[in-house]
Amino acid sequence: MKEKTSQVITPDQLLEHWQGHRRLTRRVIETFPENEFFTYSIGGMRPFADMVLELLGIAEPGLREIVTGQTTQLNEYFDHGNSKAKLLEAWDSATEQLNMLWAQMEEMDFQKQIVSFGQFPGTVQSALFYFMDNEIHHRGQAYVYLRSLGIEPPMFYDRSYI
């Protein structure tokens, strides 16, 4: 297939796509009752808070690793004292950090071979799509948790600013 004149998706569009998904995930976190966020589970799966800790452990550290080239370890925990506000604070901090890190992506070759978190081989683009797809996957699970709690989740297609 010959080279296109226009990008399939530009770097700026990819960041906006990511942050749009992150805005929706933030809204899903907000929708959870405080207690159920940390405790509610179906079929032996993790509570959504634990999935969010995974997402926080991936997004900013993963992008920083891509930007700096410094291998980082996957860390899916920090001391949050079962406070949703603390996780939302971490979420918002990551949102800003992703924007700042992305500003350093001007010269990035998205096709470059990398090893994410020192263990997952791929390219810059495949890693970034994995980060996003993984978030969509777990957030979809949170929708089932919410529905089974009798709570209506945010609309999937609403990626607007809060």
Contacts with a copy of itself, residue ranges (CB under 8 A): 1-14, 17, 21, 42-45, 106, 108-111, 125, 129-130, 133-134, 136-141, 143-150, 156-157
Does 138 belong to an annotated binding site? yes
- Residue in the block written with tokens 């080239």: 69
- Residue in the block written with tokens 């998904």: 21
As measured in angstroms, the least distance from the Cβ of 53 to a copy of itself is 17
As measured in angstroms, the least distance from the Cβ of 120 to a copy of itself is 8
Nearer to a copy of itself, 34 or 109 (CB): 109
As measured in angstroms, the least distance from the Cβ of 123 to a copy of itself is 9
Nearer to a copy of itself, 80 or 159 (CB): 159
**153/142 Cα distance (integer angstroms):** 9
The contacts of residue 74 (CB under 8 Å, 6+ apart) are 57, 58, 61, 117, 119
- In a 13 Å sphere around the CA of 77, the CA atoms on its Cβ side amount to 3
Read off the tokens for 34: 């405080």
Nearer to a copy of itself, 93 or 160 (CB): 160
Give the number of residues written for the chain.
162
Numbered residues of the known binding site for a divalent metal cation = 138
Numbered residues of the known binding site = 138
